[in-house]
Structure 1
């Protein structure tokens, strides 16, 4: 018998209760599937959903309880020939989860009612059972899994008690089993549930034991392998990035390729997040600065044709991130005081510059815009690397007298002036050199005197200095730096 349930009237509620009771007690038929589909449709209506009686939800839960027993039997009989019975059980399970899912949409009272009935625990038991038979790749099994996961997502939205229950029951083992399914939709829905349930406290706990860290790394890996699943990116950018301990532990366990995925997400996030809403704490920035200072020499291997790009690319992305973080972002300007960051950057610029001068390689200045991989397919990863080193030096010296002095002590001023020429391998390097020299000279008489005393050795480009607001005069073999006269 098909029940048409169009409104939350007393008759329709009575009919619904009667129909659900039949499903919970009778031998399952396609008629029961039609009835459940009608219930699912009725629960899409906001008014009906808001006024649905607790008894109806209790009977709907009774149906799910009955189906949970059938799923257990299904597991035991999967090798039998009763395909029609298997099909119907899975279809009914998926449809029952859909009805539960719809009942929870923006309806706290239904969420709490189903939670009190034990629906969250029961759903995990059913999901665990379905996972045992999911290896065959049946779409019916995946459909039931997807609907069950969606229900957990809907019951969690805006309901802290449900979020905590789901986390306690599903994390990390069942979530792990769901994340390794060969079904992109199920994986995506699982990530949606994880994102919904995560909070600051849960995120901090992810770094506390091996299993939780393993799951965190799996989510990071999914950012790379399933780029169309947005929920993985939301988890990383809105939760993982807030925990410096988690980032540090994940980074330590990652391969260079996996680190690149993490760093690319960070770089993209820095480009879209407003300064006052920065999701990364200073401690994350300080950790990345330490990674750069400790391993920056890896980029020098790019001068060899047989080099492995991955480790060098990590250094390049770290530099890009540090440039963005120190570009007048108040949260991260404490990096100016980071031990050894400026020294490591100046020293690396020296080595890269020297390598470029001692032979033809990726660090050699060019004017033909030919810095590409063999075959010319992609831009070489070292493109703009020198320019970005100079940019970082300029950022670290902005309004910072100690760093200005340190650049002078490291003979970095002449080095930067020697990079004022146009270099097609480093677009805008002359502009970044101008920027850096401005910051190094600003309110620093010692640095200004040093430039005034420079002898002409091919390092000072008068055009570049004019762009900085200075002119060069030669007197007794020395170059004197004078401010340009402003036009009246």
Structure 2
């Protein structure tokens, strides 16, 4: 390519670089070297040259090698870290780094050495989705492969690295994100590398102060220190667990940290004011509380609990030992009854008196989320089934099998919880059958729907049927 090559010629090269064959021919002609020579922050053709370089380095190993050999990271740094760089230039340039990093360890190491930490930090502070998405891809790629673990430790185990993640979270929170690289990066850092608490605490510290990685959770849980960043982080992690349960691995350390957050946030959340909005509500405390419940729900959602101890069972047992079941049952017990029950209750009913001191749902779906955690804990775990019975909480669970506008899908989760409660547990089946012999046979919250609880003669399981007549 001649120095005075016009846009039309450059456009033809761009078109040729879109196919593997075209990239191979251009690589053989030394296109990477020529393109790097023409790159300049002040050139009006910087953007098309970067796009050409991005295409050239897409899976073409000779071009990827040439980029490193010709000090490509330094050339790109002079452009990307220039105050004159546009969003389009930043996006294309970062995509070049991502394509090069996919080639191997030498390439990832070269990109990391040139841009970590200062370069990545400056790019992370650009509040644009088009910049944040490819930046997450580059960092995630650098933290993968042979040397990825060491670089991940640099990212998550140093103040400068954690600041990069904090800025990325702030950008994604304000500008949004389209691609999954952000989710993978945060999950890798928080769960796989087990640095969740370090990042969580970083989100509570000012930009000027350094992060004390040994600080405790108790120093964070003050209303004035909680931010929307905290809730956003947990929302991202919850999404990863919900959408990709078979692709992720959860450590006991992470699970216990989430449980600790849940217990501590409980003391901050306002349970006296009814909020008719699902999370995110805009209240950091409420959103953190709700996201913590969802994460624990998904951690407990193992479908194949076995008699022998597996990693998954051990994880749930760890949560049980730390009081998860007791906590969620207590939260459910202190709640006012579902809306349909409240409307049908009368003060003179001695069995179900109106309790004015009961707490309300702090967000739409809170009761359902409690039931979902309980239901998943009950699945094929006799230890949990027995404890629910011993705590005399079976009637409480039966009460949740209703339609509730404040809690979408409450009835479905309630029925699942009852099914899991009774499955394979004769003592629980017997207790429900004995409830059938008492008056009132069916809790009023269920009869108010024209339903009643029956025990199937064949399966000995509780079921809801229409009240005849």
Match of 2:117 in 1: 172
Aligned with 2:64 (options 91, 111, 116): 111
User: Structure 1 unaligned runs (5+)?
Assistant: 1-15, 24-29, 72-88, 135-140, 368-379, 472-480
Distance 1:413 1:311 in 2: 30
**TM superposition shift of 1:153:** 2.5
**TM superposition shift of 1:343:** 0.8
Aligned with 1:291 (options 257, 261, 281): 261
Distance 1:327 1:444 in 2: 19
Larger radius of gyration: 1
Q: Secondary structure at the match of 2:196?
A: helix
**TM superposition shift of 1:292:** 2.0
Q: For the structure 1 residues 304 and 244, does the alpha-carbon distance in structure 2 shift closer, same or farther, using more than 3 Å as the test?
A: farther
Q: Secondary structure at the match of 2:453?
A: helix
Query: Can you list the C-alpha shifts for 1:17-40, whole angstroms capped at 9, x where unaligned?
Result: xx3xxx3xxxxxx55777666655
Are 1:439 and 2:410 matched, yes or no?
no
User: In proportion to residue count, which structure has more helix?
Assistant: 1
Q: Is the 8 A contact 2:296 2:373 kept in 1?
A: yes
Match of 1:277 in 2: 247
Q: Is the 8 A contact 1:293 1:341 kept in 2?
A: no
Q: For the structure 1 residues 165 and 437, does the alpha-carbon distance in structure 2 shift closer, same or farther, using more than 3 Å as the test?
A: same
Aligned with 1:343 (options 323, 326, 332): 326
Are 1:391 and 2:372 matched, yes or no?
yes
Q: For the structure 1 residues 382 and 98, does the alpha-carbon distance in structure 2 shift closer, same or farther, using more than 3 Å as the test?
A: closer
Query: Can you list the C-alpha shifts for 1:33-52, whole angstroms capped at 9, x where unaligned?
Result: 77666655554564353244
Q: Is the 8 A contact 2:183 2:240 kept in 1?
A: no
Distance 1:458 1:309 in 2: 41
Q: Is the 8 A contact 1:260 1:317 kept in 2?
A: yes
Q: For the structure 1 residues 186 and 224, does the alpha-carbon distance in structure 2 shift closer, same or farther, using more than 3 Å as the test?
A: closer
Distance 1:435 1:62 in 2: 61
Q: What pairs with 1:473-488 in structure 2 (closer than 5 Å)?
A: none
Match of 1:301 in 2: 271
**TM superposition shift of 1:341:** 0.3
Q: Is the 8 A contact 1:286 1:335 kept in 2?
A: no
**TM superposition shift of 1:281:** 4.4
Are 1:261 and 2:226 matched, yes or no?
no
User: Structure 2 unaligned runs (5+)?
Assistant: 204-225, 276-280, 305-310, 345-360, 464-469
Match of 1:222 in 2: 171
Distance 2:102 2:173 in 1: 27
Q: Is the 8 A contact 1:61 1:114 kept in 2?
A: no
TM-score, scaled to structure 2: 0.70
Aligned with 1:465 (options 447, 453, 457): 453
Query: Can you list the C-alpha shifts for 1:318-363, whole angstroms capped at 9, x where unaligned?
Result: 223322332334565432441110111111112123xx59xxxx89
Q: For the structure 1 residues 469 and 320, does the alpha-carbon distance in structure 2 shift closer, same or farther, using more than 3 Å as the test?
A: farther
Root-mean-square deviation over aligned CA pairs: 4.0
Aligned with 2:386 (options 405, 410, 418): 405
**TM superposition shift of 1:424:** 3.9
Match of 1:9 in 2: none
Query: Can you list the C-alpha shifts for 1:84-120, whole angstroms capped at 9, x where unaligned?
Result: xxxxx42244444344333322210121122112222
Count of matched residue pairs: 400
Distance 1:424 1:57 in 2: 63
Q: Secondary structure at the match of 1:277?
A: coil
Q: Secondary structure at the match of 1:465?
A: strand
Q: Is the 8 A contact 1:313 1:381 kept in 2?
A: no
TM-score, scaled to structure 1: 0.68
Distance 2:88 2:72 in 1: 19
